[in-house]
Structure 1
């Protein structure tokens, strides 16, 4: 095998790895956005800043990241109001959401992103778990109120 053929094969494998990793990241993001969508919809309509389906605007390249950051902060604020209204404990994970937004903003800065990426990933997982927990907490109450 010639050197140019070896480089072409290596480049092809690199592209395949990027495509697979990108597809996996998109799939995980879709499941995360479904959780956020359902959590926003579990909040009462009077305390909900907007429809849960607007999270899907976060899939727009570039602008979507900033929309996502605003969305999770507004979701946490709405959750805090909803929990207070229903007399349930919790702060809506506002502190976690704010820290996540700050870390993700730091990930946009060269060299700083090397330090912020791992904590951002860990906090993102914690945020996902918290939002799923709040969704489970609110949905049964919502179903009981409708009956």
Structure 2
């Protein structure tokens, strides 16, 4: 095997790994955005800033990232108002959402991004869990109100 063949094989494996990792990241993002959409869906229409389905605009490259940050902050504020209206405890995860947005912006800053990446990933997982928890907390009450 010549050096060129070895390089081509290595490059092909690298490209395959990038495709697999990209597909995995897309699949995880879809489940995360589905959770956010469902969380927005349990908020009363009078309080909801926009329909939950608009989270899918976050899949647009570039501007989608900015939309995602706006969306999670608006979702947290709407959840906070919904919890207050129902006289339930909780802040809607606004602090976590704000910290996540700040860490994700810091991930764009050279040299700081290495320090912000791991906390941003951990906080993203915590945020996902928190939004799923609020959805579960508010969903049964919404079904009982409709009956």
TM-score normalised by length of structure 1: 0.99
**Which position in structure 1 is the counterpart of 2:95?**
95
**Which position in structure 1 is the counterpart of 2:140?**
140
TM-score normalised by length of structure 2: 0.99
Residue by residue over 1:86-136, the C-alpha shift from the partner in whole angstroms, topping out at 9 and shown as x without a partner, is 010000010000000000011112221111110000000000000000000
Aligned residues between the structures: 147
**Which position in structure 1 is the counterpart of 2:79?**
79
**Which position in structure 1 is the counterpart of 2:120?**
120
Residue by residue over 1:41-80, the C-alpha shift from the partner in whole angstroms, topping out at 9 and shown as x without a partner, is 0000000000000000000000000000000000000000
What stretches of structure 2 of length at least 5 have no aligned partner? none
Cα RMSD (Å): 0.5
| Superposition map of 1:1-147 within 5 A | 1-147=1-147
List, as ranges, runs of 4+ consecutive aligned residues in structure 1 with deviation greater than 4 Å. Answer: none
In 2, Cα distance between the equivalents of 1:143 and 1:16? Answer: 45
In 2, Cα distance between the equivalents of 1:66 and 1:143? Answer: 33
